[in-house]
Structure 1
Amino acid sequence: MTVITERSAPGPKPDIDPEPKTVPELITFGVIVATPIIALIAAVPFAWGWGLGWTDVAIAAVFYVVSGLGVTVGFHRYFTHGSFKAKRPLKLALGIAGSISLEMSVLDWVATHRKHHKFSDKEGDPHSPWRFGPGFWSMAKGLLWAHMGWLFETTRANREKYAPDLVKDPDIIKLHKWFPVLAITSLVAPALLGGLLTWSWWGMATGFFWGTVIRIGLLHHVTWSINSICHVFGEEAFESRDKSRNVWWLAIPSFGESWHNLHHSDPTCARHGALKGQIDISAGVIRIFERLGWAYDVRWPTPERLAAKRVNV
């Protein structure tokens, strides 16, 4: 006689991804964190003497803008929150641009950030500065953790749980697998450009220093500041369930990401700086993509939605 047993339903996916961070990954994070800090200390006397030219400025600026917008417009507003829809060439371009920031692959970046929004400033948040509680020393420790300490956790956010749509996207999987190649390209390309444009080994060296080391270090610390500074300091204009705040002096280098309060109040909104005087470069870029027909179904804020979420003053 055949016995038929009822198959149990699959349980919920765990928060932790079954693939932990490897030792080489953690060492890489360490190098990425430490090298720019050392380089920034050396940058002032280096530039004052003979180490900075217009070629270096141009290379560093171009790579900073492309990779930075790849993170803010691509990784954040498009891939994570679906603030707009993009045609396939734009999707691929944004994925590549975000990858050369060397922050994470698009898959890991999105999974981590979606988990952050689910547990924002509560237990389970990957990088909340309130992790150790209030008080001066707890907050100092929490700010350091939120800024870059969390990168050294051996576990990662579960990709299938927090980014199931991307796991099923063949383009995203290819970008994820090609992340090491894109990262190496991001490291090497500024040096090659510096050497070709100046036709000198010195131009290659300064191109690497400014276009790779300083550019990546600055972009990373600006991005990490959104996790740390913008969850402790600043102003609150909209109601949110966490401690997200607006920090005006980070608006330009972060391309508008530091208008963080509205973002956490209305995560799918394509514009974070929606009030008068709030400069949001990323939203301006999305507007250009929309007018060119590359982006569509953009979730722009409306006066009604903003009014409904405003803090009563």
Structure 2
Amino acid sequence: MSNNSPGNHSSEATTHSSKKVIQKSALKKSQQFHAFLITLLPLLGTIIAVSLLGKYRISITEISLFLTMWIASGTGITVGFHRLFTHRSFKTSKVIQVILVILGSMAGQGPLIYWVALHRRHHECSDQLGDPHSPHQQEASNLKIFRGLAYAHILWMFDHEIPNPLYYAPELLRDKILFKVSQLYFVWFCLGLVFPTVIGGFIYQSFSGAFLGFLWGGLVRLFFVEHAIWSVNSIMHIYGERPFQTNERSTNNLWLAIPTLGESWHNNHHAFNSSAFFGMKWWQIDWGGYVIRTLEFLNLAWDVKKSTKQMIENRSAWVQSKSVIN
């Protein structure tokens, strides 16, 4: 999915900057092509990888490639695309920013500027008309909940409105370096497949080793990372706990904390969306938060935003008072 180039047509940019969505058939076709690519390719790769288990027993090499690429690309999404660029919950150097964009692009979720614009629209319209991927578009029933989950998990990608980056992410369009890195999305996406392929071939010194690296560090890893990320759109807006009263139906889900690298504390996030940390209790595993704390300790991150104990207590007290009144 490509983003409109800024600065080439200033009058046109001014005209369209107030529009929240873009209606262009070329962008719609690009969106649908990307959706097919990132849903079908990892699925086929995972099926092939599982079918080959009888012939090629999975070893520490495939496991290591899978885990390394999962952590790397998942960190790019949760720390980079989400907490840094979308919510600006901390600051870091341009070098770290570029690294996070490259890693996040390897997760196959679209270019940085597109992702940020889409997610900011989600927060603006969460579970309301205009939300790109809400599972709550219809009245509740078992069948409609299933349809809502399917829509919020995958189907929305094939036909959603494209948020206008001139409206939702103008500061990223003005950043020449980040804009260029975002434009190279497919390069980074392919690099996320090439890297484990080369490593697998080097370790095994064979084409079959390269193919196994491609499968487990590339396609199987993509399948796992993508469905973990998409579960935040679907499962975490239906199933789980809601410790904070918010204007949508976000939930916290303990069971998905590790696969999502901390994104599953979704109700916490919606309650304090500018905070860099989603896990608010010691037992709430938040890999993305741990990475940011490490960067801060190393003086590689600063101006880190946090939800203080007083803020949490005030919000909890407000929820309790609301329930008493109701």
For 2:230, the equivalent position in structure 1 comes to 224
For 1:5, the equivalent position in structure 2 comes to none
Q: 1:139-181: per-residue Cα shift (whole Å, max 9, x none)?
A: 1111111001111116411111111111111122111211121
Partners of 1:51 and 1:206 within 8 A in 2: no
1:13 to 8, 13, 18: 18
Q: Is 1:205 aligned with 2:214? A: no
For 1:273, the equivalent position in structure 2 comes to 279
Partners of 2:275 and 2:307 within 8 A in 1: yes
CA distance in 1 between counterparts of 2:134 and 2:28 reads 23
For 1:120, the equivalent position in structure 2 comes to 126
Q: Is 1:33 aligned with 2:39? A: yes
Q: 1:244-285: per-residue Cα shift (whole Å, max 9, x none)?
A: 000101001111000000100110111111024111111010
CA distance in 1 between counterparts of 2:306 and 2:224 reads 29
| Residues 154, 230 of structure 1: alpha-carbon distance in 2 compared, 3 angstrom cutoff | closer
Deviates more, 1:135-144 or 1:61-70: 135-144
CA distance in 2 between counterparts of 1:66 and 1:12 reads 34
CA distance in 1 between counterparts of 2:16 and 2:85 reads 26
Normalised by the size of structure 2, how large is the TM-score?
Answer: 0.89
For 1:77, the equivalent position in structure 2 comes to 83
Partners of 2:46 and 2:215 within 8 A in 1: no
SS state of the match for residue 47, structure 1? Answer: coil
CA distance in 1 between counterparts of 2:154 and 2:275 reads 27
CA distance in 2 between counterparts of 1:45 and 1:12 reads 50
| Residues 84, 50 of structure 1: alpha-carbon distance in 2 compared, 3 angstrom cutoff | same
Q: Alpha-carbon deviation of 1:189?
A: 1.7
State the superposition RMSD in angstroms.
Answer: 1.9
Deviates more, 1:216-225 or 1:169-178: 169-178
SS state of the match for residue 181, structure 1? Answer: helix
2:312 to 297, 306, 309: 306
| 1:125-144 equivalent positions in 2, closer than 5 A | 125-144=131-150
| 1:107-256 equivalent positions in 2, closer than 5 A | 107-153=113-159, 155-256=161-262
| Residues 51, 151 of structure 1: alpha-carbon distance in 2 compared, 3 angstrom cutoff | farther
Q: What is the one-letter code of the residue matched to 2:297?
A: R
Q: What is the one-letter code of the residue matched to 1:248?
A: L
For 1:4, the equivalent position in structure 2 comes to none
CA distance in 1 between counterparts of 2:252 and 2:170 reads 30
Q: What is the one-letter code of the residue matched to 1:137?
A: L
| Residues 42, 246 of structure 1: alpha-carbon distance in 2 compared, 3 angstrom cutoff | same
| Residues 39, 197 of structure 1: alpha-carbon distance in 2 compared, 3 angstrom cutoff | same
Q: Alpha-carbon deviation of 1:89?
A: 1.1
Q: What is the one-letter code of the residue matched to 1:308?
A: N
Deviates more, 1:118-127 or 1:36-45: 36-45
SS state of the match for residue 89, structure 2? Answer: coil
Percent of aligned pairs sharing the same letter: 35
Q: What is the one-letter code of the residue matched to 2:196?
A: P
Partners of 1:46 and 1:52 within 8 A in 2: no
Partners of 2:132 and 2:161 within 8 A in 1: no
Normalised by the size of structure 1, how large is the TM-score?
Answer: 0.92
Q: 1:178-229: per-residue Cα shift (whole Å, max 9, x none)?
A: 1121112112221111101211111101001101110001000000000000
Gaps of 5+ in 2: 1-13
SS state of the match for residue 74, structure 2? Answer: helix
Gaps of 5+ in 1: 1-8
Partners of 1:230 and 1:258 within 8 A in 2: yes
Q: What is the one-letter code of the residue matched to 1:130?
A: H
CA distance in 2 between counterparts of 1:300 and 1:154 reads 33
CA distance in 2 between counterparts of 1:24 and 1:15 reads 19
Q: What is the one-letter code of the residue matched to 2:139?
A: G
CA distance in 2 between counterparts of 1:33 and 1:11 reads 31
CA distance in 2 between counterparts of 1:10 and 1:72 reads 33
